[in-house]
């Protein structure tokens, strides 16, 4: 065979091989180069709940992000969502006799390298295995709530401790305890609150160390004076800043952050 023809054929095979290798490049980077942002991982977690979590798929609604945490940079994330079910129980309850009662839930989803590796509702039900978790017993936890107390004639923001049923939605639980106001024995010890009765927490979302807490209009009704406004903000901020996942607090009313809680 002519030497020139052989050279041309070899070059053609080399070029064809290179094109095939390029065409077969993996859709995702190889493992050592994989990196998923917390936003991407959050979307993966939320999509999995909506489409694959037996409890949520059966009768869940009002899915809301409560807390997120980067456990291993770019690789492993924890997300805590809250939602409600129209019936009691867990999983696919198609053939069961059901109590029709709105039931609140929290679900923690662990996403590793772009895959959901764990999903547990109320620390009691494994959504991936579709079974109850054995040996789960009710537990309590202690959280701090910040109220006003007069010390040496000066108003200060001081901490009281509340024992509550264990929950992974700790930020929401703490704010809800704050909105309850001082208990009778706490009032007897001199604690009071600057926050109006009837204030509702509409949503709370922790992203990148920032807690976004949204309240209804009642939070600022009748509020006047810089001292009052400052006290409201400090009570909310201090109650949320006790958690390691929170380094900053953004307060809003009906989604607005501007022109709220003005002196």
The average confidence (pLDDT) of the chain is 85
The 10s digit of each residue's pLDDT in 9-60 is 444 444 444 444 444 434 334 344 568 899 999 999 999 999 999 999 999 9
pTM above 0.75, yes or no: no
The DSSP code sequence of the chain is --HHHHHHHHHHHHHHHHHHHHHT--SS--GGG----HHHHHHHHHHHHHHH-HHHHHHEEEEEEEEEEEEETTTEEEEEEEEEESSSSSS--TTS------EEEEEEEEEETTEEEEEEETTTEETTTTEEPTT----EEEEEEEEEEEETTEEEEEEEEEEEE--S-HHHHHHHHHHH---HHHHHTTEE-SSPTT--EEEEEEETTEEEEEE-GGGGTT--SHHHHHHHHHHHHHHHHTSTT-SEEEEEETTB-TT-S--
pLDDT digits (tens, 9 = 90+) for 88-142: 999 999 988 888 899 999 999 999 999 999 999 998 999 999 999 876 555 788 9
Q: Taking the domains of the chain in order of start, what are their residue ranges?
A: 31-132, 140-253
Tens digit of each residue's pLDDT (9 = 90 or more) over 184-202: 999 999 999 999 999 999 9
pLDDT digits (tens, 9 = 90+) for 202-231: 999 888 889 999 999 999 999 888 999 999
């Amino acid at each position: 065979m002519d030497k020139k023809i052989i050279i041309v054929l070899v070059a053609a095979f080399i070029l064809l091989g290179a094109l095939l290798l390029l065409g077969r490049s993996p859709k995702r980077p190889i493992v050592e180069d994989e990196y998923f942002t917390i936003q991407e991982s959050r979307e993966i977690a939320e999509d999995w709940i909506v489409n694959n979590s037996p409890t949520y798929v059966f009768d869940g609604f009002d899915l809301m992000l409560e807390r997120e945490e980067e456990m291993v940079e770019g690789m492993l994330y924890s997300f805590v969502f809250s939602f409600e079910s129209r019936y009691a129980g867990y999983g696919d309850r198609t053939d069961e006799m059901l109590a029709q009662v709105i039931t609140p839930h929290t679900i923690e989803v662990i996403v590793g390298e772009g895959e959901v590796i764990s999903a547990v509702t109320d620390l009691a039900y494994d959504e991936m295995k579709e079974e109850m978790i054995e040996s789960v017993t009710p537990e309590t936890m202690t959280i701090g709530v910040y109220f006003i107390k007069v010390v040496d004639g000066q108003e200060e923001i001081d901490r009281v401790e509340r024992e509550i049923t264990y929950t992974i939605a700790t930020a929401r639980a703490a704010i809800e305890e704050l909105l309850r106001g001082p208990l009778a024995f706490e009032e007897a010890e001199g604690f009071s609150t600057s926050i109006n009765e009837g204030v509702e927490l509409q949503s709370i979302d922790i992203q990148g160390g920032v807690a976004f807490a949204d309240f209804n209009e009642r939070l600022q009704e009748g509020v006047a004076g810089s001292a009052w406004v400052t006290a409201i903000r400090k009570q909310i901020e201090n109650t949320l800043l006790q958690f390691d996942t929170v380094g900053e607090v953004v307060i809003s009313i009906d989604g607005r952050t501007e022109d709220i809680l003005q002196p």
